A = this chain, B = another copy of it.
Amino acid sequence: MNKKTSDFLELKSIFSDELLEVGKVITDSLLSKEELVSDVGSYLINAGGKRIRPILTLLFSKICGYTGNKHIYLASAVELIHVATLLHDDVIDESATRRNKPTANFTWGNKASILVGDFLFSQSFKLMVKSESIKALQSLSNASSIIAEGEVMQLARLYQNKMLSLTEYEEIAKAKTAALFGASAHVGSIIANQPENIELACEEFGTILGLIFQISDDMLDYFSNPTASGKNLGDDLAQGNITAPIIIAYNNASKEDQNRIENIFFNDDRESKFEEIKSILLKYNTESAISIYVDSHYKKAVELISIIPYSAEFTPYLLGILDYAANRTR
């Protein structure tokens, strides 16, 4: 394990008491007299996950000097939103496994996944209400809308059969992933009553972190060890989602290889072409090109650290968490 991953694990251990409370609040939120609701909800919550979004909320509330206990409700709410979107995503993507286990839709069917997703989403709003912060509710309801728009955007692009630009990719990634990372950091600063410019810097840091996280995730879809990452290799290719590695390789490729990429992606048998696509990615050194791309975002996030309040205990972990997200690509 390298230093970067261990920094994130250290943060998890620093927040272990708070994360335990978050876990309890989430478990209580899953309680339902309807067994199927509790079963489906718990299944996904207990499947693990990195808890990176609630950790962001906890981290930013501490950096901004918050000493109350309402950050627990907000940290639990962001995780519930995340899990609700996973339930719906897996229905949309027709996924059969997640984190090396059968998906909820595979186990209980699409209908239960849709409805339990709706339930978790509503429960997350109930938790936000407990924070009694209208501004936090505003931030998270806004992020939820953007996530749904981002998913529709991605779906609409699938039907267009055309190569995306990096700008278009970032627009989708910001909406479907980075908005919730941004809001997770944002509500941490909101609950600590920070001035507007600081709240915005916290949100922006979270957003960039989320974008880096998504780019890394898109790389893992081609280059990870599925047992370690819990991802299905080649899911994006199978679904026809055009992601950063593909766009970057395409932009560097010969006309002939560009045609090959297009032919593979805009055909129904793309699933069988995983090795061919991967060989094109390797041919154009996509891993190092992605590193450069990630670094440009990383630098922007680092610049924001000077605006965010300084905490001797917690500020160093801002770099740690950035490194953790960026490091997933390498």
Contact = CB atoms under 8 A, between A and B. Distances in A.
Nearest to A91: B114
A156 interface: yes
A288 to B, nearest CB: 34
Contacts of A91: 111, 114
A11 to B, nearest CB: 29
B114 A92 contact: yes
Contact of A152 (B85, B115, B126, B134): B115
Interface stretch (A141-149, A219-227, A267-275): A141-149
A123 interface: yes
A121 interface: yes
Interface string A81-109: 00001001001100000000000000000
A53 to B, nearest CB: 17
A112 B152 contact: yes
Contact of A115 (B35, B126, B155): B155
Contacts of A117: 118
A319 interface: no
Interface in A143-200: 144-145, 147-149, 151-153, 155-156
Given A152-B36, A155-B112, A119 B145 contact: yes
A241 to B, nearest CB: 13
Given A92-B114, A134-B129, A137-B137, A152 B119 contact: yes
Among A88, A91, A151, which residue has the most Cβ atoms of chain B within 10 A? A151
A156 B34 CA distance: 8
Contact of A155 (B111, B122, B151): B111
A324 interface: no
A152 B121 contact: no
Contacts of A33: 149
Contact of A122 (B37, B134, B145): B145
A112 B119 CA distance: 19
Contacts of A202: none
Given A126-B145, A134-B134, 17 more contacts: A33-B149, A34-B152, A35-B156, A36-B156, A37-B152, A92-B111, A115-B152, A116-B152, A118-B121, A118-B148, A118-B151, A119-B148, A121-B121, A122-B145, A122-B148, A123-B145, A126-B142
19 contacts: A32-B152, A35-B156, A36-B155, A88-B115, A92-B115, A110-B110, A115-B152, A115-B155, A118-B121, A119-B148, A119-B152, A121-B144, A122-B145, A125-B141, A125-B144, A126-B138, A129-B138, A132-B134, A137-B137
